[in-house]
Amino acid sequence: MGEVVPIEDDSTQELPLYLPPTPSPLQIITIKSTSIKETTPGVTKCDSNGQGVDPRELESWLPITESRNGSTFSAIFHLLCSGIGYQVLLLPAAFAVLGWAWGIICLCMAFMWQLYTIWLLVNLHEPVPGTRYSRFVRLSIFAFGQKLGKLLAIFPVMYLSGGSCVLLIITGGRTMEQLFKIICGEGTMCESKSLTGTEWFLLFTCIALIIGQLPTLKSIARVSLIGAITAIGYCTMIWALSISKGRPDGVSYSIPNDAKTGMTGFGNILNAIGILVLAFRGHNLILEIQGTLPSNSKHPSRKSMWRGVMVSYIIIAMCFFPLAIFGFWAYGNNIPANGGILTAFLQFHRKETSKFVISLIYLCIIISCLGSYQIYAMPSFDNFEFIYATSKNRRSPGWVRVGLRLFFGGLTFFIAVAFPFLGSLAPLLGGMAAVPLTFAYPCFMWISIKRPRANSAMWSLNLGLGCIGIGLSILLIVAAIWNLADKGLNANFFRP
């Protein structure tokens, strides 16, 4: 929400309203300086009777902005943990459709585009001196108005928070099951001891909720550090092992003829582009992460935040590009769309790779999912406590905070069990939510808030990128619907 930060000079100086005429032609104008005030939508100021909620006090009650003593390092940890996900393993599958040249070109363009929109968000965090917008929805309302701002932002933010947590439960639970099978070994006895899919989902959710009792976004910095290290670890191990094991026989880099022409070829190309653009995630958390950093007129938060962004995205590039390029070099068009490079690696090199190494990769994926769950759940935790605080006019007690987080965990667990095929719908939902939020909305926000001169460079650039982003979103939605209609959907409700 938009919160007011104190300005350095709040002194008030009053001069007399009238002075007798003097020989000098100069006249004294009375000026009374007052502090900046702002009313956040849905929040009232405290009146003389103490009714309502003071926005600045409300900010200190909520988990995202309760602590503002974060650092560039904590921002780097959060950005890495939220920016590297399991979907990065699908990048070589996109290269298998686009080929070497177009694969590298599209990946570079997507990387630069999303880095530019991050720069926009970082600079829009404090669009007016003395005011900070630490939540994407509040910035959207400030930019587009109450109705349109909510209409454009609420669904993407809800999906990228709650929906991401559901996908993390599905991915983490299934990876736990695979890890158990590797450790236990193949056999009837091992299968009889294994948990069911629902029980693996429940185990992952319980562990995530235990970690999720950390109260604030700032307090989970160490969790994000561990999640970032493990994410970097499994990405690096997979592409490094793929190189060291060598290319299997019969690897081809040519695109199958039946995938080049017609609607099938067009849909495959769009789906490959969707894999590339959806690999970049976490834009819905940029403002929230920046909200944990201190800010004043001499040292605004955008400087330390941008340093954190540059460091973290250099590391992210060192994970994404080698994984995509070396993965495609190692396996060519043998990379399956389901599971990506990890499935291909196990298919060709499982027998010659030790159980310890494979188990370590799976363990890193599980820990990374647990870390990502915390940071992606935080906007939902914050919104629940916002509703409670504004209705009760007080901070959420400990038992309420625990109850709200258990409720959220139970809800995401139920959705994961009810819709274990949600990953198959990720291209469709990502096209509807993630793509416009990542590539389009920040550009339109900049035009609406900063109001650059029409036809100027910044105006033309942001208008063009914003329109292309919306067009790309529509094309990816159409391609995802076509793919579902063509290949079908295994809708295994309540059968994870």
The 3-state secondary structure of the chain, one letter per residue: CEEECCCCCCCCCCCCCCCCCCCCCCCCCCCCCCCCCCCCCCCCCCCCCCCCCCHHHHHCCCCCCCCCCCCHHHHHHHHHHHHCCHHHHHHHHHHHHHHHHHHHHHHHHHHHHHHHHHHHHHHHCCCECCEEECCHHHHHHHHHCHHHHHHHHHHHHHHHHHHHHHHHHHHHHHHHHHHHHHHHCCCHHHHHHCCCHHHHHHHHHHHHHHHCCCCCCHHHHHHHHHHHHHHHHHHHHHHHHHHHHCCCCCCCCCCCHHHCCHHHHHHHHHHHHHHHHHCCCCHHHHHHHHCCCCCCCCCCHHHHHHHHHHHHHHHHHHHHHHHHHHHHHHHHHHCCCCCHHHHHHHHHHCCCCCHHHHHHHHHHHHHHHHHHHHHHHHHHHHHHHHHHHHHHCCCCCHHHHHHHHHHHHHHHHHHHHHCCCHHHHHHHHHHHCHHHHHHHHHHHHHHHHHCCCCCCHHHHHHHHHHHHHHHHHHHHHHHHHHHHHHHCCCCCCCCC
Residue 59 in domain: no
In percent, the amount of the chain with pLDDT more than 90 equals 74
Q: What is the mean pLDDT of residues 216-220?
A: 94
pLDDT digits (tens, 9 = 90+) for 106-134: 999 999 999 999 999 999 999 887 789 99
| Tally of structural domains, the chain | 1
Question: Residue 4: pLDDT band by 50, 70, 90 thresholds?
Answer: low
Average pLDDT of the residues in 21-37:
42
CATH number at residue 465: 1.20.1740.10
258 inside domain: yes
Is residue 49 a part of any domain in this protein?
A: no
| The predicted structure's pLDDT at residue 178 | 94
Q: So what's the pLDDT on residue 207? A: 98
Per-residue pLDDT at 264: 79
In a domain, 19, yes or no: no
pLDDT average, residue stretch 433-450? 97
For residue 306, give its domain range.
71-487
| pLDDT bracket for residue 187 (50, 70, 90) | low
- Who wins on pLDDT, 27 or 251? 251
Mean pLDDT of the chain: 88
pLDDT in tens, 255-304: 766 566 677 788 889 999 999 999 999 999 999 999 999 998 888 999 99
pTM, full prediction: 0.89
Has residue 1 been placed in a domain?
no
Average pLDDT over residues 465-481: 96
The answer to the question of residue 435 being in a domain is: yes
Does residue 495 form part of some domain? Answer: no
Mean pLDDT of 245-249: 89
Residue 5 in any domain: the answer is no
17: confidence class by pLDDT, cuts 50, 70, 90: very low
